[in-house]
Amino acid sequence: MDPLRFIQITDTHLFDRAEGTLRGLDTAQSLAAVVAQVRARGSHIDGILATGDLSHDGGTPSYRRLVQLLAPLHAPIYCLPGNHDALGVFACALKGSQVQSGGCLLADNWQLIFLDSALPGAVHGHLRPAEFARLDAALRGHPERHALICLHHQPIPVGSAWLDKLMLDNAAGLFEIVDRHAHVRGILWGHVHQSFDATRNRVRLLASPSTCIQFKPGCADFTLDDQPPGYRWVELHADGNITTDVEWLD
């Protein structure tokens, strides 16, 4: 059986204004360039995992722009919110036949679970009791499926002090659930604007570059990296293996 193949697009930071820039970079242009490169690679895509900070200013036009910019990939879009997203607008604006906000996806013998770790007014992440309960129920409901958990905030430190102050503040609760379900194969997030790939108790832990600006790894204080925009491809195999890599804009 062919693996499921997903593209992770994260931290697009789109603006309501068409030419909005972040640190001098036009975020809509850089996402368009990333999408063009994904298309040029030509591989089949089963879905796009859009892991938060999709809008920078949280307005409806920025979410509409996201869907428009991803349309050339002809793949369903699975969204979850980050700290920059406006929660009230998010689910309304990201609704449609090809767009899903939150929830779960059952595909082949996998389950993907999309968590909301955004707290209104906060930059760090937090999973509310209802999200923990939903995760546990989803995992208990499908013990026969391999599981990939997606969220915005990092559940473990990535090695930059300033950024790790802004991680998930109750990650122990997440790992308590993960450790009870041996069929969890991976956790995937955004927020850190850099590539990260580690393993904890055989669970793959993955973070990915933004489609706009990057943060330099291993820095005590906020430091931009000179890496170009990027994205991650993820292949989920029937035996539970995950093959994945990050691609940077040429």
Choices 134-142, 172-180, 187-195, 239-247; region in contact with Fe ion by CB under 5 A: 187-195
Q: Which two tokens stand for residue 149?
A: 């958990």
C-beta of 193: minimal distance to Fe ion in Å?
8
C-beta of 97: minimal distance to Fe ion in Å?
28
C-beta of 13: minimal distance to Fe ion in Å?
9
Interface residues for Fe ion in 214-243 (CB under 5 A)? none
CA angle 190, 194, 200 (to 5 degrees): 70
C-beta of 85: minimal distance to Fe ion in Å?
9
Q: Which residues of 92-110 are buried (b: 16+ CB within 10 A; e: fewer)?
A: ebbeeeebbbbebbeeebb
* Closer Cβ to Fe ion, 83 or 214, answer by number: 83
* Closer Cβ to Fe ion, 82 or 110, answer by number: 82
C-beta of 10: minimal distance to Fe ion in Å?
9
* Closer Cβ to Fe ion, 35 or 54, answer by number: 54
List the x/- string, 76-105, binding to Fe ion by CB under 5 A. ------xx----------------------
* Closer Cβ to Fe ion, 53 or 131, answer by number: 53
C-beta of 154: minimal distance to Fe ion in Å?
10
C-beta of 53: minimal distance to Fe ion in Å?
4
Please count the residues of this chain forming the interface with Fe ion, following the rule CB under 5 A. Answer: 4
Sign of CA dihedral 126, 145, 4, 102: negative
Whole-number Å distance between alpha carbons of 117 and 128 = 8
Helices 60-70 and 27-41 meet at what angle, rounded to 10?
Answer: 20
Let me know if 88 is exposed, middle or buried by CB neighbors in 10 A (0-12, 13-18, 19+). Answer: exposed
* Closer Cβ to Fe ion, 31 or 75, answer by number: 31
CA angle 159, 165, 221 (to 5 degrees): 65
Choices 46-54, 102-110, 111-119, 212-220; region in contact with Fe ion by CB under 5 A: 46-54
Choices 50-58, 90-98, 133-141, 234-242; region in contact with Fe ion by CB under 5 A: 50-58
Give one DSSP letter per residue of 177-221, joined into a string.
HHHH-TTEEEEEE-SS-S-EEEEETTEEEEE---SS-EEPTT-SS
Contact flag: residue 53 with Fe ion (CB under 5 A): yes
CA angle 19, 23, 24 (to 5 degrees): 50
* Closer Cβ to Fe ion, 46 or 53, answer by number: 53
Q: Which residues of 162-183 are buried (b: 16+ CB within 10 A; e: fewer)?
A: ebeebbbbebebbbebbeebee
Residue numbers at the binding site for Fe ion (CB under 5 A): 53, 82-83, 191
